[in-house]
Amino acid sequence: MKVVILLAALVLAACGTSSPTAQPSASPAATATPVASPTPIAGSPLIWAAPTRIDHEPPFAGNTILDVSCPTTSLCVAVDQAGNVITSTDPTGGAAAWTVAHVNSVKDPQSLAVNLSGVSCPSTSLCVAVAYGGNVVTSTNPTGGASAWTLAHVAGTDQLDAVSCPSVNLCVAVDTRGNVAASTDPTGGATAWKVTTAGNNGLFGVSCPSTGFCVAVGNQGNVVTSTNPTAASPAWKAIQVSGFSGGSRVSCPTTTFCVAMDYNGDAVTSTNPAAAWKVSHVAGTNCDQFGGSPTCALGAVSCPTATLCVAVDAVGNVLTSTNPAGGAAAWHAARVGAVSALAGVTCAGTTLCIAVGEGGNVAVSSNAIGGTSAWTASNVDGTASLRGISCPTSDLCVAVDAAGHVLTSNHPTGGQESWTAARMDTKALNAVSCPSRALCAAVDFNGNAATSTNPTGGLAAWRLANVDPAGGLLAVSCPNTTLCVAVDINGNVVTSTNPTASAPTWRVTHVVQGSSQIGGLTGVSCLSSVFCVAVDQNGHVLTSTNPAGGAAAWKVSTLSGFAFTAVSCASTTFCVTVDENGAMVSSTNPTGGAAAWRATIVQGLSFVHSVSCPSTNLCVAVDDNGNVAISSAPNGAATDWKVIRVDDTNSILGVSCPTRDLCLGVDSIGDSIVGTRPA
């Protein structure tokens, strides 16, 4: 339900158009904890290392942090919608003081632990997080990385949205179907949790000020309470609060004082939570449940005492009050820097409050009522999606990302510090091709091409120009310094025979086969100036021995039933193209028409994004679920392909193999994954 609160912020958000800037390598927003290295499968020619974050330059497409808990001022634990736990033992120390661990599916790869939605830490030695799918993720060492967290599926629950642990001996979680799950042994596994139905309405927040009293709130203005949450058959009493539109969180510093916020800009308070509540409008104008100003959508609230409450809204405001039941005049709003929607907040006493929200941001204050200047915002959970990579040699790789960065490395296996970024485009760069150090070309969805004859030379070494007015460039291939061929979603082939010039000229050719329009071209591979193969989403394979020669120079073959996404040619007598459904379609005679192509469905693959074939006896493909498929006989049977999951649940969007001994993949959160041949 916290997603509802964020909708207002998402509607207001606009894409930035700031000028490209040079950005040398810097520290990441937060330290990324890589997943454990997978065990190689027998017969695989490459061993893959754990993913390593190489893209650490803003602007980030950060994850939404939904909740945070600070048992002390020296430990805070937050959770996000991507299954990450973000921890800090120095919460006021800025971005570098926070560490990200991806705990989704820690024990069960098929689980639905994504969207960690709530967390509660009664002590520094116990944290309990809840997730959609009815999962509980616990740790007795919350800063210990992904392996320190254990997942349990609590049967009978649906989308667990919030959890409250007043002590290490009691945790209570609520779900969107009105169920309550309670445990006196939270780390005891699934059987240690007991599920009770507390009504027909969804519950989105819970607060237990003691082991003998809990309050939960949900939609339709319902409040449920229990004085025996640990009983074998706990009793939950439900009341309807008139004027309360429904809340996502509730905070009870004592058994006789509770505060909830709702989507109509109201503070809902009670000194007798089981019986009576007072509704006071404190924020926003023209409010109704799904309208009015965005400041109506009040989200989480934290009250460390009855004389201090801190709430957050959908546009980045923090609302504070030293008299929470005092009406509008008693609440004061402060804008927190450039932070957008805020979703969660917690206060470890009156000297530390942490607010979290959209974009992977946290806002920290040691004086919550001190206004805007008392809050400091940092991005601790930001990611940038790497879209493509090209490695002409083992000592040069160039990658591109969704924020318009080009990342380069002369030592691509050297980890984060060996990569340098420059932002030369305000749009997402989709693909890059580098035949050598003397030329790289990258393309974006707006029809721009960025070229460089010195790709590691920083921003000044790159030139950006619009080369395809129709836009939608998805792939590019430059076999040498005298030819680059790009393709777009409109069925156009865009070529340049002077890509190293100070102002390269590009020609746009629309390819048509008889009366059939070519679909969106998604991949292209050119071995030389006289051999190119392109593919589209409608099963067409286009070949040319004169790729800059116009539409008539392209021969089209139709392979029905395929939606091709990429192609790689190791030689003029061997190419492999891949599709959305895990098919590997190969040919030893690529210009020989449809009959010359052979399809193999590789089990275990989903949407295949990219393929690289450095030779006729090695091809590597990557998919949407973090898998690599490797074959030393890529023209063989399905059993000749080995599928290995190397990147947890992230999508691997690009792969490049400069030699048979080295491959690099890039993923949707800015990581590189290195595959090397065993010694």
pLDDT of residue 249: 93
Rounded Cα distance, 268 and 280, in Å: 6
Percent of the chain topping pLDDT 90: 74
* pTM assigned to the model: 0.70
| Residue 204 contacts residue 220 (beta carbons within 8 Å) | no
Rounded Cα distance, 181 and 141, in Å: 23
Q: What is the mean pLDDT of residues 303-314?
A: 96
| Residue 508 contacts residue 550 (beta carbons within 8 Å) | no
Rounded Cα distance, 196 and 235, in Å: 9
Neighbours of 238 (CB within 10 A): 16
Structure-model confidence comparison of residues 213 and 220, the more confident one: 213
Q: Give tens-digit pLDDT for 585-617.
A: 999 999 999 999 999 999 999 999 999 999 999
Q: What is the mean pLDDT of residues 132-157?
A: 91
Name the CATH code of domain 386-676 (choices 3.10.20.90, 3.40.50.12160, 2.130.10.10, 3.20.20.70). Answer: 2.130.10.10
Domain chopping of the chain, boundaries: 67-296, 386-676
Residue 8: which pLDDT band, with cuts at 50, 70 and 90?
very low
Q: Is the pLDDT of residue 115 over 60?
A: yes
Q: Do domains 67-296 and 386-676 have the same CATH topology?
A: yes
Q: Give tens-digit pLDDT for 622-678.
A: 999 999 999 999 999 999 999 999 987 689 999 999 999 999 999 998 999 999 998
| Residue 284 contacts residue 321 (beta carbons within 8 Å) | no
pLDDT of residue 56: 73
Distances (CA, A) of 208 to 225, 226, 304: 10, 9, 13
Neighbours of 397 (CB within 10 A): 30
Please report which helix (H) or strand (E) contains residue 585, including its range.
strand 583-587
The CATH class, in words, for 67-296 is mainly beta
Determine the 3-state secondary structure of 417 from DSSP: helix
Rounded Cα distance, 217 and 403, in Å: 39
Q: What is the mean pLDDT of residues 412-422?
A: 92
